[in-house]
Amino acid sequence: MPRKRQNNENIDEQYYQISPEILSSFPKYHPPVDLFSFREDIAVLAPYCRKGQRLSNEQVEEVADICTKGNLFVARSDHHIYSRHIVKQLDLVLQDDHLTDAEIAEICIHALLIQMRGFYAQPVKTMFEPLYKDVMVVTEYLWGDKHRINTFIRRLFRKDEMARHAVNTMIVGLRLWMYSTQEYRRKDLDRVTLALLLHDIGMSKVPPFLLKKNGPLKLEEREKILPHPLLGAKMMQKTDVSFDELVHACFQHHERLDGSGYPQHSKDRQITRVGRLTAVADSFSAMICERPWRKPKDMITACKELVGDHLRYDQEMTSALLGVFASGNLGQLVDMDAIVDARDSE
């Protein structure tokens, strides 16, 4: 790794220092961002090349050399290009100690969104493998410090899309789970994360026109959606990584404590903890997203409705969720839809 620079905090605020790992992930002859080199002799950061400019073999070598010495930088104003690049190679976020927690959360959320879109469109092994890899990067990051999940929960989506709903459910469920579980292993964190993210994967087998419908579903249309918990559980049982939490999240997320849910009308502790957790996170995520026929609910209203619905939802979990949003400690919410929409349209 390049050595950490001293006494140049203003440079570190406006520029990222690029590690050799990140440099090697760029197209060698056409860096996608402007590069700057730190001139030690005059202590100035000077432009080295412009984005898209073709580098000669000598320059490629020189850039590598500058980078190894810890003197290669990218402007923060190129963050959008840099993050679009890093989103496709998510493991790099763990190596880049110049990204802020907010930047890492946004890159992780966007990467998971892209992976979930791909897996919903084609729920096959070749799409699952890169998704799994990115989930492991996110859990590695959260494993380092559980409070990092709070940066994620300020960045929930409000637009209606299955992949956005999946990512929201993962974030909300993890916030509750990480703070309410006394001790957990890395493996448990991995499993709960995957379970929450993939809870609705059975929806990929539902006729697509139903998902795009502009209004509440009619009874016969609703019936076509009812099998998705079982379909999801069966799909996940077939993968190489199948484990109980994943199957339970898929199968039980529409079960309710009073037996009014589906598909099995299970009650109380017949529903596993991860099943109850996914139910709360799933319902909350649905409530805060806009639908073509209704506006999104604000976070606190959604939490209060769930707390009031104590016959159907685990009250410890719903009260904890209300605590997250009502405590005032969460800080400013971030418009994550605007961030990903801007990046998607570039």
Binding site for Fe ion (CB under 5 A): 200, 282
Nearer to Fe ion, 27 or 208 (CB): 208
Nearer to Fe ion, 141 or 177 (CB): 177
Token pair of 242 as six digits: 């199948």
Q: How many other C-beta atoms lie within 10 A of the C-beta of residue 301?
A: 13
Nearer to Fe ion, 34 or 282 (CB): 282
d(CA 320, CA 166): 20
Nearer to Fe ion, 245 or 282 (CB): 282
Contact assessment for residue 338 and residue 156, using Cβ atoms and an 8 Å cutoff: no
d(CA 252, CA 269): 12
* Residue 253 C-beta: closest distance to Fe ion, Å: 5
* Residue 48 C-beta: closest distance to Fe ion, Å: 48
* Residue 264 C-beta: closest distance to Fe ion, Å: 14
Nearer to Fe ion, 94 or 230 (CB): 230
Question: For residue 294, what are the β-bridge partners?
Answer: 291
Nearer to Fe ion, 96 or 282 (CB): 282
* Residue 58 C-beta: closest distance to Fe ion, Å: 55
Nearer to Fe ion, 47 or 207 (CB): 207
Contact assessment for residue 142 and residue 108, using Cβ atoms and an 8 Å cutoff: no
* Residue 229 C-beta: closest distance to Fe ion, Å: 6
* Residue 304 C-beta: closest distance to Fe ion, Å: 20
* Residue 214 C-beta: closest distance to Fe ion, Å: 19
